[in-house]
Amino acid sequence: MGHVAGVTLTKWRRIWSERFPRVSLDVVEIPVAQQREALDSALVDVCFVRLPIEPEGLHTIRLYDEVPVVVVPKDHVVAAFDEVTLADLAGEKLQWGDTTTDAIDQVAWGAGLLCVPQSVARSHSRRDLVYRPITDAPPTTIALAWSVQNPNELIEEFIGIVRGRTVNSSRTAQARSLTPPADPRATPKKATPKGRPRRTGGVQRAGRRKR
């Protein structure tokens, strides 16, 4: 499973481990610029991507929108406001898009401001920087994407987890076979005592005892 920066996976990973304890879920962070390549090359089976992405040959499920924010030094004038508009940022040197440690460092050095989704800014929080929502900037959208040609049947199971499908709604035969039901014939029966016939009322009953 791949994901771009800022996506929180804790809930989905936990549910997966509960339902499919024998199938490890390997997770890798993918830069936005490489998210389509990661799917086309089968580096990942599914990926939490940041739209837009070239849709041809992909299935996508839109999940949620992200609030855009601007990251500024703690002593910057913008830090005094709870939120800002694009007009408030006029004249500032702005960098938009996916963030890196280097981009964050440049903001701290006073080389410009960085506009990113709020989840990304939160994951790169530092004591010397703050971020403020940009009220009139277009939001970005997180979606789950996978190739239409990927034959992995467990993709459907992961999609079900993301959509909130219950454990009883498991669809694929492969998924069901991962945890086969217990064979009732394997349950040992209680042993029937053998030996001398039981006496009842002092009279020995002949023949085999009824079970």
Predicted pLDDT of residue 59: 97
The mean pLDDT value for 160-188 works out to 61
> In this structure, which topology does domain 2-65+140-178 adopt according to CATH?
D-Maltodextrin-Binding Protein; domain 2 (3.40.190)
Which tops the pLDDT comparison, 170 or 168? 168
- Does 68-133 match 2-65+140-178 at the fold level? yes
Mean pLDDT score across all residues of the chain:
84
Closest CA to 195 of 209, 181, 180: 209
The yes-or-no verdict on residue 205 having pLDDT over 70 is no
Round to whole Å and give the CA distance between 132 and 118: 9
- Tell me: pLDDT of 187 over 90: no
- Superfamily assignment of 68-133 in CATH? Periplasmic binding protein-like II (3.40.190.10)
CB 103 within 8 A of CB 121: no
Name the CA radius of gyration of the chain, rounded. 29
Q: For 41-76, what is each residue's pLDDT tens digit?
A: 999 999 999 999 999 999 999 999 999 999 999 999
Q: What is the mean pLDDT of residues 143-160?
A: 95
Question: Could you tell me the pTM of the whole model?
Answer: 0.76
Q: Phi/psi at 73 (nearest 5 deg)?
A: -65, 150
Q: Could you tell me how many residues make up the chain?
A: 211
Between residues 110 and 204, which one has the greater pLDDT? 110
pLDDT digits (tens, 9 = 90+) for 27-37: 999 999 999 99
The rounded distance, in Å, linking the Cα atoms of 49 and 181 is: 36
> Domain map of the chain by residue range?
2-65+140-178, 68-133
